[in-house]
Structure 1
């Protein structure tokens, strides 16, 4: 991925560093050869090379690039579970994935972790992004997912003779679980996504209180994955499934919906991040009736929503880590709406905006394993930066308006935003007013 060569100064904005600290008003951010050289209060007597670029934040907000921690690049207008693997041919899904990646970047997300992908499209999508063939977030790939036979993700009946090979590797016992991970190793993935529990979407067979994998299968997945340097996560709603995942050694927990005291203690002891992905549940409840979603499914999503909100609050108040992301790509929860998750955590869960930004940036980078490079505006880190027209901490909902993004940078290169193709003035071209650069 290309990196800025030279110097750029971002000025005239408030800086939110992603660490959870109070914002710095009248701040500036210095970028040198794609990395952050300074982040803090404006320095009136700063000297820069004559060819340095200057970007005026217009009194808006300078913050780290957001991290979508539960990204499904191959989901597109999914109306039913079967749409995940039988709606479109793999060739078209590959094209759709590149469109979704571009949209994610344009939405302020400079990095993402795949939460599962049809075939191993996300592996190749990552390569295309890194080689500047398509725009998109820095990506950690998961490829196909793992679920027990007869579990949540095993929906194609045997008489169809089509199996689930494109989306899910179905396992029956620890030996098959190990074999599934080894297939993913060959595919080149980084995260192994599993389904320890069911979901409200399947109330008759695998609801949100059922288990879809045994502990022995989950432990075999972790043991094999960790042997190959991979990390493991899992769709965990049922309380017993959460505990199984934590005891098996999972590296993150997706959803963590119904946590009791024992599960919370296990989570905090291992300091495992949780990605609640709650806005999807709210969208399902609010928009489900209009799309003909059965009332029993809607009721299950409501229970999931209530339980998930309570668990997220408990984790946060106990000092645990939360990443933000969700199941975007469904007909009622489309790609591009990722920042709805952030507003939900402010308005519905009650988190302070500065902490929501921390979850969406710092913790997101930690989940990716790239906290030394990404997630906060600190000296030495890659300049993955978002510049927004407006005060994000006063109204976090403005992150949902893509027209408000002035610049979305990766390593200092403006890859999206309204200023992407506009001329940025050089330092030498500036008129100085009270020793403060003004962008004309």
Structure 2
């Protein structure tokens, strides 16, 4: 992506640096050639050239661009899982993915990690984003996902013959698991997404206490992926699936729902980040009935919600790391509502706004492996900045309202928000 040239100064706001440090009142951010040159109190700010561009934060909040750590760009607000594979052709899903990427940027998310993609679209979407062909977050791609045959994601009957063409690579045993990763290596992914466990969405044979991959399959995935420099994550709800993923050497866990003492100790020992993605559960409970979710499925989501919230609290309080991101792209949890995850973690889980923002910026950058250039407002890092009209620490739900965004910047260039619209 291109970066800005020249000097820009953001002033008259409170800066949330992203490191977890206390907010800086009356702060100034100096951006030179797309990178942060200074972020701190206005009294200590360096002198800048007279022709520098000045942005007035209007007494609001200046923070790093948000990072969506579990992004499904090719999910198109479906009402049934099967729709993902059979409703639209690849050409149309590609256009929908580009639209979702643009929407994410407009919502203040300047970076994202794909949590799985139809048809390898996210790999090519990433290329388009990096060439500035379409607007959207800086993206880490994961391509198609891996699940054991008969597992949670094996919803299509064999007569459709699309198992290798849509969303999921289905495997039986470690040899097929290795072969699936090798396909993804050729595709050009950065992350390998797997399904070690089931979910409340499939209560009959693959519920949230069920395993969908063997340890041997998971170990084969990790060994092959790490050999090629790729990272591995997995949909982990069941306790034993969480432990299997940690023993196999997973780089992150998605959900980490039912964490017991042994699993917590393993998470802390390995310093493995967890992305709980929990607002989806609340949305499923509250809006599921209008979309035809059965009471049995909703009851499963209630159990997942409560278990996941407790696990997330325990992980963070014990010194572990949480990333923020959710399964947006379902009818009851549509794209564009990403910041509801952040409000949820304050209002339901009980984290502080500062803790949540640190998870959504600094930890997100660590998950992406780009903490040296993203995630905090520190000198030398790319100027991915979100400026919000209002006190985000006092009311984190302001991040749900795009009308409050003065500017969304990537590399010092204004890409969305009020100032972007006024330039159009």
TM-score with structure 2 length normalisation?
A: 0.99
Instruction: Give the RMSD, CA atoms, in angstroms.
Output: 1.2
Match of 1:393 in 2: 393
> What is the correspondence of 1:337-376 to structure 2 with a 5 Å cutoff?
337-376=337-376
CA distance in 2, matches of 1:73, 1:212: 24
Deviations 1:197-239 (A, max 9, x none): 0000000010000000000000000000000000000000000
CA shift for structure 1 position 141: 0.1
CA distance in 1, matches of 2:15, 2:76: 35
SS of the aligned residue for 1:27 comes to strand
CA shift for structure 1 position 268: 0.5
**Does the 8 A contact of 1:64 with 1:375 survive in 2?**
yes
Q: Compare CA radii of gyration and give the structure with the larger one.
A: 1
CA distance in 2, matches of 1:228, 1:251: 14
CA shift for structure 1 position 145: 0.2
CA shift for structure 1 position 421: 4.7
Q: Which moved more, 1:205-214 or 1:151-160?
A: 151-160
CA distance in 2, matches of 1:58, 1:341: 26
Deviations 1:83-136 (A, max 9, x none): 121111110000000000000000000000000000110000000011000000
CA distance in 1, matches of 2:345, 2:45: 40
SS of the aligned residue for 2:283 comes to helix
CA shift for structure 1 position 78: 0.9
Call closer, same or farther: CA 1:36–1:293 in 2, change over 3 Å.
same
Deviations 1:344-378 (A, max 9, x none): 00000110100100000000000000000000001
Unaligned runs of 5+ in 2: none
CA shift for structure 1 position 48: 1.6
Call closer, same or farther: CA 1:45–1:28 in 2, change over 3 Å.
closer
Match of 1:240 in 2: 240
**Does the 8 A contact of 1:63 with 1:386 survive in 2?**
yes
CA shift for structure 1 position 150: 0.4
Match of 2:264 in 1: 264
CA distance in 1, matches of 2:259, 2:187: 33
Call closer, same or farther: CA 1:204–1:30 in 2, change over 3 Å.
same
Match of 1:314 in 2: 314
CA shift for structure 1 position 45: 7.7
CA distance in 2, matches of 1:365, 1:332: 28
**Does the 8 A contact of 2:10 with 2:54 survive in 1?**
yes
CA distance in 2, matches of 1:392, 1:284: 27
TM-score with structure 1 length normalisation?
A: 0.95
Q: Which moved more, 1:282-291 or 1:187-196?
A: 282-291
Match of 2:142 in 1: 142
CA shift for structure 1 position 164: 4.6
CA distance in 2, matches of 1:160, 1:45: 63
> What is the correspondence of 1:234-313 to structure 2 with a 5 Å cutoff?
234-313=234-313
CA shift for structure 1 position 250: 0.1
CA shift for structure 1 position 43: 3.0
**Does the 8 A contact of 1:156 with 1:164 survive in 2?**
no
> What is the correspondence of 1:15-164 to structure 2 with a 5 Å cutoff?
15-43=15-43, 46-164=46-164
CA distance in 1, matches of 2:160, 2:382: 49
CA shift for structure 1 position 46: 4.6
Match of 2:335 in 1: 335
Deviations 1:126-165 (A, max 9, x none): 0001100000000000000000000000011123333353
Deviations 1:226-259 (A, max 9, x none): 0000000000000000000000000000000001
CA distance in 2, matches of 1:275, 1:71: 11
**Does the 8 A contact of 1:328 with 1:334 survive in 2?**
yes
CA distance in 2, matches of 1:391, 1:85: 42
Unaligned runs of 5+ in 1: 424-440
CA distance in 2, matches of 1:128, 1:360: 24
CA distance in 2, matches of 1:198, 1:190: 24
CA shift for structure 1 position 422: 3.8
Q: Which moved more, 1:387-396 or 1:152-161?
A: 152-161
